[in-house]
């Protein structure tokens, strides 16, 4: 276990002016608070927060963060209180410990709680100070280093969560070394056989290639020095998880991989980066398609470097990263490399201007306020965590970074939610292109918009960014809500008219407390969805109103719909049109018999499904007699000359003789009817029952077909089925 003076020395190595007294106080306080508590390994619990602090000293973090790391388990696991921490160490450290305590409480219920909800709350906890996230990542890293002491089932769950969430999150924060170690430890626990096999292969290859690595390092250093560039060149072997992922992605064996080694060239200035690149490319042939310039277009986690691959000595593929010392520090320490934390100042506004990683984190946290459930939020964020990036431009030159595989729809939502919601087309590099085109690096994208447009729900499954998916889902929900709100308003207007009472939003607003709804729109939508009866709304607005139908005073029984509700067809010009749709509420026809223009019709609302249209004479309507709020006044609203068919069903008794079915179908065909389905059942030896589903233009058309069928000798009876 690390001693008190060792902790202070580790901090003073990179920060000679560190607050030694603060670190000593934190050490002693935490040691006394944890006492003889033990971990699953049998070691003293106090060793864990010390190891977390040690990891953060490698990131060269400020005194407050190191002290918070030492104290991070005290409030949750000991008798210490947050008030005590605030009083002893100040509000800044108290706030850090409080954020970490909230996250720790999430872990205690993670067996039962959804992983998405934990991740959601994790990001909310770090919203005020990203240092909370850095301590949490270090905490997870030490837990992974000691994971072997956990039961197998728990070990697997923690490793999966680490690989899914914490490792990519460390990568997004730019802390590459931590990300790689988290991936490595997760891989080791999730698939020990594959890990061991790859590690063995790498060890064998390392022994064979030791001299080749030294040769490449020396050759590069010599060539650069000859051109006046002093550079540090280091080669390293890729890690087992990185190798395994590439094998899986490309479906190749270990022996087929040619770029096992990567070399880093670190120089003094940006100018020397590009000069070094020129020297490398003129010395060895470049592998096409393997050049990336992250200096001119940095990654969202602030990573800057030039990547290239060449065919080096011995025809060996050599991956190279060329960067400055400052870039190398950001590549290693990510968001922790910002001078802000070395000064110990908590000022998120300054960090936001310095760090792309922090800007991404804030945008991700902003998604939390947009109404997605935890599982959706986790899915969206994981998509962005794992995807590589493409860089595109607006016509005005603004750079937009997107996950690989993104479309112009993703681009539109990245620019602004309103741009995405109103997008109807796009130009890519000046040419009209489909909205589902996969974007490439350097594309200039212009979004064509149409005001009043609503994004199709199908877009949600076609986009790749979390923001686009969340926005499309939100817009779709809003559109559906508007549909049900409109339907609910029409139902209530009719209900108040039947009751002989005036209806207005102001009157409805006064009844909101009695209806237990927050707004008029909530009431209208609830009525439209069938979650609230219109009669209950009338009584909430007018408590003295007595519904005679419920009292049964009209002799028809409680709840039976009145004449106006049963009238249906065209007599009420305020009814819901079926065609020339003025509303997007789903409309369908009665499954047993349908309905055709010329029928008097009525609509029955089914919550969540829309309105079903029945002929007024349908016996199925009797099932809804006690549910008057589901009856909707509807009418036909067909344009003159409309070429649309409607469903109907007829039932025949036919003489059982050869050719009888042919004669029946010929009559329908001669009268321009269209048969959708035919079913036959032998009734007796001499007669067959035939049911035919067909589509016709209107009631006159249907009656003409029925009349012609009745005239046929082979048909003894024919009737229309009305459900």
8 Å CB contact between 69 and 104: no
**Residue 126's closest CA among 184, 170, 87, 164?**
170
State how far the Cα of 521 lies from the Cα of 42, in Å rounded to an integer: 60
Number of neighbours of residue 332 by Cβ within 10 angstroms: 17
3-state secondary structure of 589: strand
8 Å CB contact between 204 and 198: no
State how far the Cα of 619 lies from the Cα of 602, in Å rounded to an integer: 12
State how far the Cα of 70 lies from the Cα of 57, in Å rounded to an integer: 12
Q: What stretch of H or E contains 386?
A: helix 374-386
Q: Provide CB contacts within 8 A for 351, sequence distance 6+.
A: 130, 335, 338, 340, 358
8 Å CB contact between 270 and 324: yes
Virtual torsion, Cα 528, 533, 535, 540, nearest 10 deg: -90
Cross-strand bridge partners of residue 530: none
State how far the Cα of 41 lies from the Cα of 48, in Å rounded to an integer: 11
Look at the alpha carbons of 512, 518, 521, 526 in this order and tell me if their dihedral is positive or negative: negative
| Distance, C-alpha 411 to centroid of its chain | 16
List C-alpha distances in Å: 68 to 22, 246, 575.
11, 38, 66
Q: Provide CB contacts within 8 A for 353, sequence distance 6+.
A: none
Q: Which of 20, 58, 77, 689 is catalytic?
A: 77
Residue 204: active-site member: no
Q: Tokens standing for 395?
A: 């016509």
State how far the Cα of 466 lies from the Cα of 460, in Å rounded to an integer: 10
**Residue 267's closest CA among 318, 212, 227?**
227
Virtual torsion, Cα 209, 213, 219, 224, nearest 10 deg: 160
Q: Which of 43, 76, 332, 522 is catalytic?
A: 76
8 Å CB contact between 76 and 105: yes
State how far the Cα of 559 lies from the Cα of 626, in Å rounded to an integer: 5
Q: Provide CB contacts within 8 A for 260, sequence distance 6+.
A: 202, 205, 209, 237, 238, 243
Q: What stretch of H or E contains 550?
A: helix 548-551
Residue 680 has phi, psi (to 5 degrees) of -130, 145
Q: Largest alpha-carbon pair distance within the chain?
A: 110
Residue located via tokens 């398609």: 289
Residue 76: active-site member: yes
3-state secondary structure of 310: strand
Strand order in the sheet with 610-615: 587-589, 610-615, 601-606, 631-632
State how far the Cα of 721 lies from the Cα of 703, in Å rounded to an integer: 12
Query: Among all residues, which ones are annotated catalytic?
Result: 76-77
């Amino acid at each position: 276990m690390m001693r008190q003076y060792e902790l202070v020395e580790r901090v003073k190595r990179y920060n000679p002016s560190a607050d030694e007294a603060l670190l000593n106080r934190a050490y002693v306080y935490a040691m006394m608070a944890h006492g003889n508590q033990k971990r699953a390994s049998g070691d003293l619990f106090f060793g864990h927060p010390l190891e977390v602090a040690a990891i953060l000293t490698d990131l060269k973090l400020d005194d407050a963060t190191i002290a918070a790391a030492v104290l991070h388990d005290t409030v949750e696991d000991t008798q210490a209180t947050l008030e005590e921490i605030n009083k002893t160490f100040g509000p800044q450290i108290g706030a850090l410990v409080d954020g970490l305590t909230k996250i720790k409480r999430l872990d205690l219920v993670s067996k039962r709680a959804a992983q998405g909800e934990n991740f959601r709350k994790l990001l909310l906890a770090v919203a005020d100070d990203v240092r909370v996230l850095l301590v949490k990542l270090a905490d997870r890293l030490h837990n992974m280093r000691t994971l072997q002491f956990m039961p197998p089932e728990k070990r697997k769950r923690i490793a999966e969560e680490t690989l899914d969430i914490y490792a990519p999150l460390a990568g997004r924060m730019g802390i590459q070394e931590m990300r790689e170690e988290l991936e490595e430890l997760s891989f080791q626990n999730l698939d020990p056989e594959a890990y061991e096999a790859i590690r063995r292969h790498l060890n064998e290859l390392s022994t064979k290639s030791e001299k080749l690595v030294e040769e490449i390092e020396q050759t590069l250093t010599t060539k650069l020095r000859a051109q006046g560039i002093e550079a540090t060149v280091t080669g390293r072997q890729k890690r087992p998880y990185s190798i395994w992922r590439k094998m899986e992605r490309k479906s190749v064996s270990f022996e087929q991989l040619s770029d096992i080694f990567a070399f880093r060239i670190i120089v003094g200035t940006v100018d020397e980066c590009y000069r070094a690149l020129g020297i490398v490319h003129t010395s060895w042939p470049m592998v096409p398609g393997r050049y990336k310039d992250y200096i001119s277009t940095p990654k969202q986690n602030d990573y800057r470097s030039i990547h290239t691959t060449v065919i080096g000595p011995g025809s060996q593929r050599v991956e190279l990263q060329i960067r400055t010392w400052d870039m190398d520090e950001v590549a290693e320490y990510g968001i922790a490399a910002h001078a802000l934390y070395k000064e110990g100042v908590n000022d998120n506004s300054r960090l936001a201007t310095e760090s792309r990683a922090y800007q991404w984190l804030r945008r991700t946290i902003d998604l939390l306020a947009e109404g997605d459930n935890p599982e959706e939020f986790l899915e969206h964020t994981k998509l962005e965590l794992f995807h590589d990036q493409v860089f595109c431009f607006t016509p005005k030159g603004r750079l937009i970074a997107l996950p690989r595989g993104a479309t112009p729809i993703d681009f539109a939502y990245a620019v602004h939610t309103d741009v995405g919601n109103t997008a109807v087309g796009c130009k890519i590099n000046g040419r009209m292109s489909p909205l589902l085109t996969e974007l490439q690096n350097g594309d200039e994208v212009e979004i064509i918009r149409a005001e009043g447009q609503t994004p199709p729900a199908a877009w949600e499954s076609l986009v790749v960014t979390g923001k686009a998916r969340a926005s499309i889902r939100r817009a779709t929900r809003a559109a559906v809500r508007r549909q049900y709100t409109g339907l609910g308003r029409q139902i209530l207007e009719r209900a108040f008219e039947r009751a002989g009472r005036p209806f207005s939003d102001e009157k409805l607003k006064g009844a909101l407390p009695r209806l237990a709804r927050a707004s008029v729109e909530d009431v209208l939508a609830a009525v439209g969805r069938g979650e609230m009866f219109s009669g209950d709304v009338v009584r909430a607005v007018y408590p003295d109103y007595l519904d005679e139908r419920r009292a049964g005073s009209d002799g028809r029984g409680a709840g039976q719909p009145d004449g106006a509700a049963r009238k249906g067809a065209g007599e009420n010009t305020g009814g819901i049109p079926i065609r020339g749709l003025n509303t997007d509420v789903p409309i369908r026809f009665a499954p047993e018999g349908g309905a055709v223009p010329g029928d008097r019709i009525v609509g029955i609302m089914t919550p969540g499904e829309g309105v079903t249209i029945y002929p007024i004479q349908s016996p199925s309507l009797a099932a809804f007699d006690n549910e008057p709020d589901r009856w909707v006044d509807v009418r036909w609203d067909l344009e003159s000359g409309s070429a649309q068919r409607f469903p109907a069903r007829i039932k025949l008794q036919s003489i059982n003789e050869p050719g009888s079915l042919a004669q029946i179908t010929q009559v329908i065909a001669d009268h321009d009817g269209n048969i959708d389905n035919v079913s036959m059942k032998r009734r007796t030896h001499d007669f067959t029952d035939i049911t035919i589903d067909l589509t016709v233009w209107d009631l006159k058309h249907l009656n003409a077909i029925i009349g012609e069928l009745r005239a046929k000798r082979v048909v003894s009876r024919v009737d229309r089925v009305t459900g």
